[in-house]
Each structure stands twice: as C-alpha cells, then as structure tokens.
C-alpha cells in the first residue's frame, strides 16, 4: 500500500494557507491606512523568498532531499529574466515561461546526476552545481560580472509597464505564491506525492512495491526547479537588479533555515518560516550593525527547542485553545 500520510498532512494546511493569504491581501490597505509605505516592497520580497522556500520544502520536507544548491535555481531564473530584459525581449509572456523552463532543464539535468547519490554526497553535489552557477554568473562580463546587472526596467506585460506599479506587482507575487502553495498541496495529496513521501520514509519498501523512486524524485526535483525559477523572475523584477549573490551557497543556507524554522514538511510552514526569518533579520539589522551575532544564536535556540518549527507550535496552540474552550 502507498502511505496515506501525505493526504493526512496536506488537509490541515488549507485553513492556515487561506488565512495567510487573506492577511497578506490586506497588507497594501494596511500600509496606506498607517502610512507605512515600506510594508509593500518588504512583504513582496519576503513572499518571493517564501516561494523559493516552498519549492525547497517540496524536495527537502516531502522528498527528504537536502539540497544545498537551491539558490542556483533562483539565480538562473533571475539572470534569464535580466538578460532578456537587457536584450530587449523583456515581456513577461516570454521572460516568465522561459525562466521557468531553463530552471526546469537545469534541475532535470543536474538531478540525473545528483539523485543517484544519497546523504552527504547528495548535499555536496548540489553545492558543487550551485557554486558552478555562482562562478558562471561572475564570468558574465557583458551582464555586469561580479558587480551584477542593473535592469533598465521591469518586464512588461503585452508591452505595458503594469509591473512598475508596486501594488500590482505585490498582488502578482501573492497570486504566484498562493497558486504554488495550493499546487504543491495537491501534489502531496496525489498518488505521486504519497510515493514521494513513502520513498522519504522507506526507499527500499517503495522500490519493492514496484515504484521507480528515482523517476519520482527527478520529477519532484524538476517541479521544484520550475518554482524556484518563478521566484527568480519575481526577484529580478522586484529588485531591478541581478547579482551572482542570488546563487550563492549562503542564500541556499538561508532557504534551508527558513524551511526548518517553519517546520520541515509543513508547506505553509515554509512560508511562515520565510516571513519569520526575514522579519527578524529586518528588525535586528535596524537595531545594530552586529545583528548577525544576535540573529544566529536566536535561530539555533529556536530550532533546538521547538521540534517541528513554527507550524508545530501553532498546531499545539490551536489544540490548547480547543481544549480550553471544551
């Protein structure tokens, strides 16, 4: 039998995901009413990295594959978008699908090699591929090299500069995040997702049952790459700048921390983890120049003493409230 844990795990996610989407939809209105105009660009960037963390959680939390080169996919998506815009081919209807396609191809090809390994070897191979993209981006002297590429404008939509409007771009990012979140939930609930979960828990058993575990993982890795490419497209347009730092191993480490902070395997938890990670980073950096000295230990302490991350804590709080009302 195929493990049914995926279905049981995914159903409770829909409520928090809807609540999260509703709250985020009100941020622009709240920023206008309070006069805090910086909320919109800040939350836009956080949602972009939440999308990247979600794409990582598909392979890390659901597939059990610790990828330390995931930021390379964001970098590829961002550079594809940036180069197209610079060369005069900057319409969203071209940039967006092409960025996702290039990332899917890279994930598929590298997955053919990396997924034949396990454990530390898999981590090191993904790290090597990630660094390969990082150094390749540095060598693109026509597109800024190590200094990065400043985009002349954002991508257009059928020739119109709709994405220049911060509110329009905010809601585009929110829609992309929610669509990907619900799509991944459906994947986890599907037969494919249950096989992926089963392979994470007991690969030998799933192989004995007749499932091609390698092919399932390769598909998941490719889907994850497409989602990371989408986040790269959004990031390039939001910052109007593309840098090799987008593909650095440090950024991959940040994404792993976001997933762990939110709760590995809890898809909406990856989104919550991204918000907690980046808001904490934003708050501490405003207090002191040495904010990383505080930030690092706080993350470590939280991970050590909160098994299951933010998603686990929220579930426990919800149960306690339910028992209190009872």
Confidence (pLDDT) at 325: 53
Does a structural domain hold residue 134? yes
Number of alpha helices (DSSP H) and beta strands (DSSP E) in the chain: 15, 2
Q: How far apart are CA 31 and CA 39, in angstroms?
A: 6
Global pTM value:
0.91
- Kindly provide the b/e burial profile for residues 210-246, where b requires at least 16 CB atoms within 10 angstroms of the residue's own CB: ebebeebbbbbbbbbbbbbbbbbbbbbbbbeebbbeb
Does a structural domain hold residue 312? no
Does a structural domain hold residue 239? yes
Count structural domains, the chain. 1
- Nearest 5°: the CA angle 206, 212, 216 is 95
Does a structural domain hold residue 268? no
Confidence (pLDDT) at 326: 52
Q: How far apart are CA 148 and CA 270, in angstroms?
A: 28
Residue listed under structure tokens 């929220």:
314
Contact 60, 66 (CB under 8 A): yes
Structural domain boundaries, residue 170: 5-245
Phi first, then psi: give them for residue 160, nearest 5 degrees: -100, 145
Does a structural domain hold residue 285? no
Does a structural domain hold residue 11? yes
HSE of 323 in the Cβ direction (CA atoms, 13 Å)?
A: 6
Does a structural domain hold residue 325? no
Six-digit token string for 236: 């390039």
Instruction: Find all residues with CB under 8 Å of 289, minimum gap 6, and list them.
Output: none
Alpha-carbon dihedral 138, 141, 144, 145, rounded to 10 degrees: 20
Does a structural domain hold residue 280? no
Contact 63, 266 (CB under 8 A): no
Confidence (pLDDT) at 211: 94
Could you read off the pLDDT tens digit of each residue along the chain, which spans 326 residues? Answer: 454 443 334 445 666 677 788 889 999 999 988 888 889 999 999 999 999 999 999 999 999 999 999 999 999 999 999 999 999 999 999 999 999 999 999 999 999 999 999 889 999 999 999 999 999 999 999 999 999 999 999 999 999 999 999 999 999 999 999 999 999 999 999 999 999 999 999 999 999 999 999 999 999 999 999 999 999 999 999 999 999 999 999 999 999 999 988 888 888 888 889 999 999 888 888 888 888 788 888 877 777 776 666 766 666 555 555 555 55
- Rounded CA Rg of the chain: 20
Six-digit token string for 22: 């509703």
Confidence (pLDDT) at 21: 82
């Amino acid at each position: 039998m195929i493990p049914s844990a995926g279905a049981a795990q995914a159903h409770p996610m829909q409520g928090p995901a809807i609540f999260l989407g509703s709250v985020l939809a009100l941020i622009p209105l709240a920023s206008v009413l309070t006069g805090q105009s910086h909320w919109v660009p800040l939350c836009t960037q956080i949602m972009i990295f939440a999308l990247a963390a979600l794409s990582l959680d598909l392979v890390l939390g659901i597939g059990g594959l610790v990828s330390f080169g995931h930021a390379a996919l964001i970098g590829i998506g961002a550079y594809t978008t940036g180069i197209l815009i610079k060369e005069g081919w900057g319409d969203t209807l071209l940039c967006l699908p092409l960025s996702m396609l290039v990332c899917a191809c890279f994930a598929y090809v590298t997955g053919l090699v990396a997924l034949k390994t396990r454990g530390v070897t898999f981590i090191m191979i993904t790290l090597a591929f990630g660094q390969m993209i990082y150094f390749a981006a540095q060598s693109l002297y026509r597109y800024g090299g190590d200094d990065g590429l400043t985009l002349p404008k954002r991508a257009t939509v059928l020739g119109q500069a709709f994405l220049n409007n911060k509110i329009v771009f905010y809601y585009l990012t929110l829609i992309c995040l929610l669509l990907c979140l619900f799509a991944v939930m459906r994947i986890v609930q599907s037969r494919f997702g249950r096989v992926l979960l089963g392979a994470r828990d007991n690969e030998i058993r799933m192989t004995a049952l007749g499932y091609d575990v390698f092919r399932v993982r390769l598909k998941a890795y490719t889907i994850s790459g497409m989602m990371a490419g989408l986040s790269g497209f959004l990031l390039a347009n939001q910052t109007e700048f593309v840098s090799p730092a987008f593909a650095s191993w440090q950024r991959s480490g940040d994404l792993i921390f976001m997933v762990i902070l939110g709760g590995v395997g809890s898809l909406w938890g990856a989104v919550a983890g991204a918000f907690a990670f980046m808001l904490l980073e934003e708050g501490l950096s405003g207090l002191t120049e040495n904010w990383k000295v505080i930030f690092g230990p706080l993350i470590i302490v939280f991970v050590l003493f909160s098994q299951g991350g933010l998603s686990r804590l929220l579930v426990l709080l919800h149960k306690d409230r339910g028992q209190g009302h009872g």
